Chain A
Amino acid sequence: MSVIEIKNLHKIYNESEVKVHAVNGINLSFEQGEFAAIVGPSGSGKTTLLNMIGGLDSPTEGQIIVGGTEINKLKAGKLIDFRMRNIGFVFQAYNLIPVLTAKENVEFIMHLQGVSKQDREKRTKELLIAVGLGDRINSRPSKLSGGQQQRVAVARALASKPKFVLADEPTANLDSKSTENLLDIMEKLNKEENITFIFSTHDARVVKKAHRVITVEDGKVISDERK
C-alpha cells in the first residue's frame, strides 16, 4: 500500500494576475521504504511539490493522501498536528533552534508530542549516535559544522517516528565529504529502519544514491525512473 498518493495535483500562483502553474497535474505515489529524489531545474516546481506533500502549502486542485488521510482537507490546527506525528523535515539551511543543544533540538519534537522524558532521552541518544554525533550531544548548533548540523536535523526529523522524511536540498550547503557522510547515514536508516526519504535536489551525488528519480519540469513529471 502507498504511503503517499498524489492525484492530479495543481498549484497555481498569482491566480488573479498572470497564472503560474508551479505544479501542473502531477500524479505520483510513494511506497514505504522508498529512497526517492525529485530533480529538476530551478523553478520546475519540485520544492512546491515537496511543500504540498509536507502539508506546508495547499494545492489549488487535486489530492494528497498520506496514510489514508487526505491532508489538503485538514484544518490548519489538525494539519500542524498531522505534520508533527507523520512527517519529518530536513531543510537546506538546517534550521536548528540556535539556543538549544543538539540533544535538545532532537528532543524538541518529542516534547511537543508529549513523549515521556525517559523515552525522549533514550531515543535522542540513539538517533544522535546513529548520525555519528554521540559525542556532540551537548553542543549548540553554532559549535557544529554544516555537515554536523544537517546530521542533527536528520536526527530531529526522525525523532517523531514519522511515516516519511522530506528533505529539501539537504546537501546544498555541504562540502562533498559531509554530503557523502550524510547520504550514507540516510541510506543506512532507510535500509535498516525502512524509513521513507523523499529529496528535492539538484545534487548529482544525491541522484546517484537515490533508488528512484522523479524529474520535474514546468510543474510536470517528465520521467520517473526506478533503479
Chain B
Amino acid sequence: MIWSISWRNVWRNKTRSIVVISAIALGIFAGVFSTAFMKGMTDQRIESAIETEISHIQIHQPGFRESSEIDLLIDNSDSLINNLQKNPAIANVSRRIIINAMAASAETSSGIKLIGVYPKAESKVTTIHNKIIEGEYFKGVKRNPVVVGKKLAEKLNLRLHSKIILTFQDFEGNITGAACRIAGIYNTNNSLLDELNVYIKFTDLQKLTEIPKNTNHEIAINLYNNLTANDVSKNLSKEYPSLEILPWQTLKPELGYMSALMDVYMYIFIVIILFALGFGIVNTMLMVVLERVKEIGMLMAVGMNRLRVFNMIVLETIFLTLTGGIVGIIFGTIIAKYFSLHPINLTWYSQGLSAIGWDSRVYTSVNFQMILIVTVLVILTGIVAAIYPAIKALRNDPAEALRTE
C-alpha cells in the first residue's frame, strides 16, 4: 500500500510533477542521445581504422613497424598463411609488401607509403575497394596499375589513368623506380590516409623491389569477431614466438584508449546531468514534505513508523525520477536508433573531421549496457535526492504537525 500511496502522491500536484518529470526526461534524453552520438562517432572511427588501415591483427618481423626496413621480411609466408587460414577465429588474411616511396607527377611530388597487395585477398580484409570514387580497383590499366587516394590525386594533380612515377629503394638498397598508371582513386574520408597510402599489386612490387618470393612485410588478419582480437593475437604469438603479432588495440593504442576514454566521458557527462537534476528533485521533494507536514504527522500518529515514512518519501522520489528517466531513455533511444540508420550529416565540418580521420556522416550507436547503467544511475539519484527531504519528514513531531494549518 505504501507503494501505491507513493505513486499516487507523485500525481497529487500534476503540474509540478510534470515540470520536474519533463526536466528529468530532457536531461536524460540529452545524456542518452549525446552518448549514443559520441559512441557512434568513436565506433565508426575504430571500425573505419580497422577496415581501411589496420585490420584486426597484424604480423611483422620485430622492428619493422618502427624502422620500415625493407629486409625485415616474414619468411615462409605461404605456409604461415595456410596455417592462419585454418584457424577458426580468422575470417581472411592478406599479405603485404610495404615500402616508403616518393610519388611524382608532372608537376610535383610527395612522400608516400607504397603497399603491395593481392587485390582479391586485400578486398576481403580491407574496404578500400568499396571506397573507389573514380575508376576501378586495379582494373582498366594493363601495366603497373595503382590505386591512390583522392587527397594525393588532388595534391599531385592526377586524374584517372594519369601516369605517376614512383621512386624507392629495392631489396639491394639501390634506388629504383617505376612508371605506373592510376587505375582507381579512393576516398575514405580520412585525408591523412588518402594522402599517404598508394596501393600496387603485390606481384608488381615484388618484381620491382626484387624482394624474394615467399616473403613479405606484413600479414593483415580479419577476424570473425572484433572482440577476440586480443586473445587470438596472444595465441598466435605463442605459436610463432619469433614474429611480432599484435591486435588493433596495440597497433593503434589511441583507438583502444579512445573507446575506453569515451565510455568514461559518457558516464561523467550523465553523472553531471543527474547531479544537476538531483538538486531540482531535492527542492521539489522538500516542498512536498513541507506541504504535507500535517498528513505526515497524522500517519505517524496512527502508527506509521519512521522507516515506513522514510520509505514512502524515498519511493515517491524514485517514482518521480524514474518516470522522467524512463521517458528520457525511451525518447533518447528512439531518436538515437533512428539516427543509427539515418546518419547525421556534419557536412559543415567535413573537412576538419576528415583531416583527423573522422567521418562527417555519423551513425549513432545505441549501447544497451549504457542504458541499463543510466537507469541504475537514475534510481540512485532518486534515492540520494530523497534522503534529505525524508530526514526532514522524520523530524516532524506528530503532535505539533497535527496542529499546523
Contact = CB atoms under 8 A, between A and B. Distances in A.
B305 interface: yes
A5 interface: no
Contact of A109 (B8, B12, B302): B302
B399 A99 contact: no
B337 interface: no
Interface in A10-66: 51, 54, 56-57
Contacts of B301: 54, 56, 83, 89
Interface stretch (B152-160, B184-192, B292-300): B292-300
Tell me the dominant secondary structure on chain A's binding face: helix
Interface string A52-96: 001011000000000000000000110011011100010101010
B175 interface: no
B12 to A, nearest CB: 6
B1 A107 contact: yes
A56 B399 contact: yes
Contacts of A144: none
Contact of B300 (A57, A80, A85, A98): A80
Q: How large is the interface on A (under 10, 10 to 19, 20 to 34, 35 or more residues)?
A: 20 to 34
B303 A95 contact: no
Contacts of B361: none
Contact of B12 (A56, A99, A107, A111): A99
Given A97-B5, A99-B5, A99-B12, A91 B304 contact: no
A107 B2 CA distance: 12
A91 B302 CA distance: 11
A128 B325 CA distance: 40
**Chain A CB within 10 A, most for which of B1, B4, B8, B304:** B1
A160 B299 CA distance: 14
A137 interface: no
Contacts of A113: 303
B113 interface: no
B303 A51 contact: no
Contacts of B402: 56, 91, 95
A21 B301 CA distance: 24
A187 interface: no
B280 interface: no
Given A57-B399, A97-B295, A80 B12 contact: no
A222 interface: no
A100 interface: yes
B308 interface: yes
Contacts of B5: 97, 99-100
A199 interface: no
A218 B299 CA distance: 30
A172 interface: no
A33 B402 CA distance: 27
B49 to A, nearest CB: 57
Contacts of A108: 1, 302
A30 to B, nearest CB: 19
Given A51-B399, A56-B398, A95-B294, A112 B304 contact: yes
Contact of A95 (B9, B11, B295): B295
Nearest to A160: B303
Contact of A81 (B11, B12, B305, B399): B305
Given A56-B399, A89-B302, 9 more contacts: A56-B402, A80-B306, A89-B301, A95-B298, A95-B402, A99-B9, A99-B11, A104-B1, A112-B308
11 contacts: A56-B398, A77-B305, A81-B303, A83-B301, A83-B303, A95-B402, A99-B8, A100-B5, A107-B1, A156-B302, A160-B303
Interface of A: 51, 54, 56-57, 76-77, 80-81, 83-85, 89, 91, 93, 95, 97-100, 104, 107-109, 111-113, 156, 160
Interface of B: 1, 4-5, 8-9, 11-12, 294-295, 298-306, 308, 398-399, 402
